[in-house]
Amino acid sequence: MRTQVVIIGSGPAGLLLGQLLHTYGVDNIIVERKDRDYILGRIRAGVLEQGTVRLLEDVGAAARLHREGLIHDGIELLFDGVRHRIDMKEATGGKTVTVYGQTEVTHDLMDARVAAGRQTIYNADQVTPLDFDGPSPRVTYVKDGVTHEIACDYIAGCDGFHGVSRQSVPAAALKEFERVYPFGWLGVLSETPPVSPELIYARHARGFALCSMRSLTRSRYYVQCSLEDHVDNWSDDQFWDELRRRLDPEAAEALVTGPSIEKSIAPLRSFVAEPMRFGRLFLAGDAAHIVPPTGAKGLNLAASDVHYLAEALREAYTDKSSAGVDAYSARALARVWKAERFSWWMTSMLHRFDDTDEFSSRIQIAELNYLVSSRAATTSLSENYVGLPY
Ligand code: FAS
Ligand code: PHB
């Protein structure tokens, strides 16, 4: 088999890249180790920046998002028992975010890919990117016991943090930066109306909590938990009781509880691999970087990465210029590190750190008090949360 670009991974990064390349007339095949239903069963992100929405519009995959997505002008910060609204729309001159689950984004992109007649190979085992340091890269994989090979011009590693692409790069060629946080997020999805019209980020002595949503009838909640914790230790009632303890009285009273339809613990880390290009292999999305979800940046960074990569590949094919591919890594990393900083800052400000002292706790409160009383600080949070320009 031969194509112009092989994309490894059918998550948001791979699917969005595939559709962008399709609109640019660049042939591509996605090779994915799982199947469609497994991918759609993963519950992840919930907040889209305007840039991400625009890219989905560009590839014709935003119709349902515009019907069902919720436009949010602000968020609330809860600390010392008081909620403070951050009016991001006012602070950024009109920018907003859209609440629409990653599962739905993935579903819409998969449907768009089928409609475009583009090929995705699911259940591909032993996917291996080869010869990407030369002019004739190729990808091999095993399916139903048969080994296949796809010759191509470029390989896009969109296979997430645990994927094969970054692992295929010689260790000496990579520099990795990492901060692992000493806690996780226990998340619950429930068919219950959200406790509040906008997201509530709560700092509490017992730990962080987040009230989010997927629609006006489906809510997504998180509480900070220990890394030693296990989801089996938490009955639904225990989760709801702990969430109530971390909310203000009004929200605790208003909280509508119900059976969890998904419950899981996600670890938190900050991670960046540099560079994001190795010859004709490019890394994009979680394959290259991870952010703690506190800043709602993970999915949105995957989108900006593939925006830059698709532009670069279009330039390579259309203008026969390597300027874009040569600049891809530096261009993507410039935005990645700003999102890493923001996500680290939100996480440091809102979570309970058992290994720090009272001084650090007072600094967190001072940071939050400054944030809600300074227009400059509110503007800074807002412009990062709605998404810095590409
Ligand atoms: P993905 O991991 O989504 O997709 C990679 C794809 O590659 C997968 O389909 C995988 O099966 C496939 N793959 C892996 N190895 C392969 C191989 N060897 N061969 C072929 N295919 C392979 N972000 C937020 O903004 N908010 C959140 O609340 C949030 N919660 C998260 C919770 C969890 C548990 C995780 C893991 C991430 C969360 N994220 C969140 C971040 C998440 O949304 C990612 O940023 C987003 O999925 C990135 O998309 P991709 O880069 O496409 O990677
Ligand atoms: C979510 O709805 O899953 C969500 C929203 C905002 C975040 C993290 C997760 O910062």
What CATH code is carried by the domain that includes residue 23? 3.50.50.60
CA distance 42 to 266: 12
User: Once rounded to an integer, what is the mean pLDDT over residues 194-201?
Assistant: 98
Ligand 2 mutation pick, 210, 215, 223, 381, max ligand atoms within 8 A of CB: 210
In a domain, 82, yes or no: no
Check whether residue 54 and residue 157 sit in a common domain: yes
Domain count, the chain: 2
DSSP 3-state of 367: helix
Mean pLDDT of 251-275: 97
Mean pLDDT of the chain: 97
Residue 146 DSSP symbol: E
Q: Look at residue 202 and tell me whether its pLDDT is greater than 90.
A: yes
Residue 311's alpha-carbon distances to 297, 308, 316, 328, 390, in angstroms, are 21, 5, 9, 9, 12
pLDDT band at 36 (very low <50, low <70, confident <90, very high): very high
Domain contains 119? yes
Same domain, 252 and 291: no
- Mean pLDDT in residue range 339-359: 96
The average pLDDT across 350-358 equals 93
Same domain as 147, residue 35: yes
Asked if residue 46 has its Cβ within 6 Å of ligand 2, the reply is: yes
Within a domain: residue 89? Answer: no
249, part of any domain: yes
**Are both 283 and 339 inside the same structural domain?**
yes
Q: What is the CATH number of the domain that holds 252?
A: 3.30.9.10
The answer to whether residue 111 scores a pLDDT higher than 90 is yes
Q: Can you give the pLDDT at residue 75? A: 98
222 is known as an active-site residue: no
Q: What's the pLDDT score for residue 113? A: 98
Q: Are residues 235 and 362 in the same domain?
A: yes
Q: Is the pLDDT of residue 327 over 90?
A: yes
Tell the residue nearest (CA) to atom 1 of ligand 2: 46
Q: Which domain holds residue 159?
A: 5-72+96-177+269-347
Q: What does the pLDDT average to over 166-195? A: 97
Same domain flag for 259 and 342: no
pLDDT above 90 for 135: yes
Question: Which segments of 165-204 are extended strands (E)?
Answer: 175-190, 200-202
pLDDT at 151 over 90: yes
Is 123 found in the same domain as 35?
yes
For residue 86, being part of any structural domain is answered with no
Q: Is residue 85 part of a domain?
A: no
Q: Is residue 79 part of a domain?
A: no
Per-residue model confidence (pLDDT) at position 355: 87
Query: How many CB atoms sit inside 10 A of residue 363's CB?
Result: 14
Q: What is the DSSP letter of 228?
A: T
User: What are 75's two structure tokens?
Assistant: 């968020």
Same-domain status, 52 and 127 = yes
Q: Tell me, yes or no, whether 151 lies in a domain.
A: yes
Q: What pLDDT score does 358 carry?
A: 94
Question: What tokens appear for 83 in the block?
Answer: 């909620």
Same domain assignment for residues 313 and 235: no
pLDDT-wise least confident of 251-255, 280-284, 352-356? 352-356
Sign of CA dihedral 15, 21, 25, 30: negative
> What does the pLDDT read at residue 356?
85
Predicted TM-score (pTM) of the model is 0.97
| Same-domain pairing of 161 and 307 | yes
